[in-house]
């Protein structure tokens, strides 16, 4: 039964992925005109109807969906007319930076938010907890666009402690350690922005669910057994507060991607977000299409991985699909 559940999950996500690919295949076809009109629209060449028909016959533009799918799998994602480079090259170049920034900020904010939330719930009613909840509620209200601009003004422009753009110092010859330091230095501001944006949500959610868990009887039992408080907190109680955070992650990741795009743009970080921003500015449709498709397929993949993770984290879910013997 359990394996059947995972197969079903994978099938649902596979279907969702196909829907995305099909949307990206068919949406541009609704646009008025075709590539011939697009290529010759602004040029000095005026085509007669006969010539237009000839060019159309030369380029069979109506490729089928199966062909499109095959091209997708073999990294033929089209050609960017603004950058005069294959779309796949541009995306693969930008992807590692985004993974570093987005993944790092997510991991850090989940870890810190979780620990802080657990500790706050444990110290419920104290002034530390009240101040923490107050600060986090205020921070929850500030969008990353605003945090980003504020950090940029303060630390890059006014104090000059951190570089305002890029991911590395250009044309520099560094040893490996210097290079890592340089990358960290560039990463600091965008990373902090995203970290501050994601932290409050994780904190408030963990605290809320942890307060509920602490009322359960098994926590009292664990305490009565004389276990050290940290063990009661983490091994017994906190495990139960873990699931809501993962569920929320899955629900919100798509909206977070938009925020990350804005933050990357503010700091000119050479990731997918900045690439998307440039592509939109230049109206480079094939590049926009490629970025949107690839990133949404990745979001789907992450969501699937999360769903499988739930089962590992929370035995209640894993066992829910088992038939009683």
CA distance 179 to 202: 32
Residue with Cβ nearer other proteins (159 or 177): 159
Check residue 90 for interaction with other proteins (CB under 8 A): no
Q: Residue 233 in contact with residue 115, Cβ under 8 Å?
A: no
Q: Of the candidates 298, 296, 262, 271, which has an alpha carbon nearest to the alpha carbon of residue 90?
A: 271
**Pick 18 or 55: Cβ nearer other proteins:** 18
The CB-of-212 to other proteins minimum distance in angstroms stands at: 6
CB-nearer residue toward other proteins: 7 or 180 = 7
| Angle in degrees, CA 161, 163, 166, rounded to 5 | 160
Give the dihedral sign, CA 309/310/314/318: negative
- Indicate left, alpha or beta for 171 from its phi (over 0: left) and psi (-120 to 50: alpha): left
Q: Is residue 198 within 8 Å of residue 102, measured between CB atoms?
A: no
Which residues ranging from 284 to 313 are in contact with other proteins (CB under 8 A)? Answer: 285, 288-289, 292-293, 295-296, 299-300, 303
152 binds other proteins, rule: CB under 8 A: yes
Residue 224 near residue 201 (C-beta atoms within 8 A): no
Integer distance in angstroms from the first to the last C-alpha of the chain? 12
- Site map 187..206 versus other proteins, x via CB under 8 A: -----------------x--
Within 13 Å and on the Cβ side, how many CA atoms surround 3?
0
Q: How far is the CB of 296 from other proteins (least distance, A)?
A: 4
- Bridge-partner residues for 86, per DSSP? 79
Q: Is 7 in the site for other proteins (CB under 8 A)?
A: no
Cβ 28 to other proteins shortest distance, Å = 6
Q: Does the footprint of other proteins cover residue 258 (CB under 8 A)?
A: yes
DSSP string, 187-206: HHHHHHHHHHHHHHHHHHHH
**Which of helix, strand or coil describes residue 86?**
strand
Q: Using CB under 8 A, which of the segments 53-61, 106-114, 188-196, 209-217 binds other proteins?
A: 209-217
**DSSP for 19-37, written as a single string:** HHHHHHHHGGGGSSS-HHH
Closer to other proteins at the Cβ: 204 or 222? 204
Verify binding: residue 38, other proteins, rule CB under 8 A: no
Stretch that binds other proteins, among 47-55, 56-64, 92-100, 278-286 (CB under 8 A): 278-286
> Using CB under 8 A, which of 80, 98, 193, 265 touches other proteins?
265
- Beta carbon of residue 321, minimum distance to other proteins (angstroms, whole number): 16
> CB-wise, 24 or 109, nearer to other proteins?
24
* Residue ranges binding other proteins (CB under 8 A): 12-13, 16, 19-20, 23-24, 27-28, 30-31, 137-138, 140-143, 145-146, 149-150, 152-153, 157, 204, 207-209, 211-212, 215, 251, 253-255, 257-259, 261-262, 265-266, 276-277, 280-281, 283, 285, 288-289, 292-293, 295-296, 299-300, 303
């Amino acid at each position: 039964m359990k394996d059947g559940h995972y197969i079903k999950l994978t099938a649902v996500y596979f279907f969702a992925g196909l829907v995305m690919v099909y949307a990206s295949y068919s949406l541009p076809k609704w646009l008025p005109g075709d590539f011939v009109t697009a290529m010759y629209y602004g040029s000095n060449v005026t085509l007669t109807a006969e010539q237009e028909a000839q060019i159309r016959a030369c380029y069979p533009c109506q490729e089928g969906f199966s062909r499109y799918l095959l091209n997708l799998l073999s990294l033929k994602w089209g050609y960017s007319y603004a950058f005069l480079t294959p779309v796949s090259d541009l995306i693969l170049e930008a992807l590692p930076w985004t993974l570093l920034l987005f993944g790092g900020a997510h991991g850090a904010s989940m870890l810190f938010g979780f620990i802080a939330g657990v500790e706050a719930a444990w110290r419920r009613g104290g002034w530390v907890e009240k101040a923490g909840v107050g600060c986090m509620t205020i921070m929850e209200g500030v969008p990353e666009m605003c945090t980003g601009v504020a950090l940029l003004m303060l630390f890059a422009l006014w104090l000059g402690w951190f570089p305002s753009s890029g991911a590395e110092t250009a044309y520099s010859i560094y040893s490996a350690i210097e290079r890592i330091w340089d990358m960290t230095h560039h990463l600091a501001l965008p990373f902090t922005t995203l970290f501050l944006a994601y932290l409050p949500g994780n904190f408030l959610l963990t605290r809320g669910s942890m307060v509920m868990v602490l009322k359960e009887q098994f926590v009292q039992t664990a305490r009565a057994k004389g276990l050290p408080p940290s063990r009661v907190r983490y091994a017994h109680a906190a495990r139960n507060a873990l699931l809501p955070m993962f569920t929320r992650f899955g629900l919100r990741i798509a909206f977070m991607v938009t925020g990350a795009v804005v933050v990357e743009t503010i700091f000119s970080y050479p990731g997918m977000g900045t690439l998307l921003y440039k592509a939109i500015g230049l109206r480079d449709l094939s590049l926009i299409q490629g970025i949107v498709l690839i990133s949404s397929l990745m979001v789907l993949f992450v969501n699937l991985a999360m769903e499988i993770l739930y089962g590992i984290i929370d035995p209640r879910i894993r066992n829910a699909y088992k038939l009683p013997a």
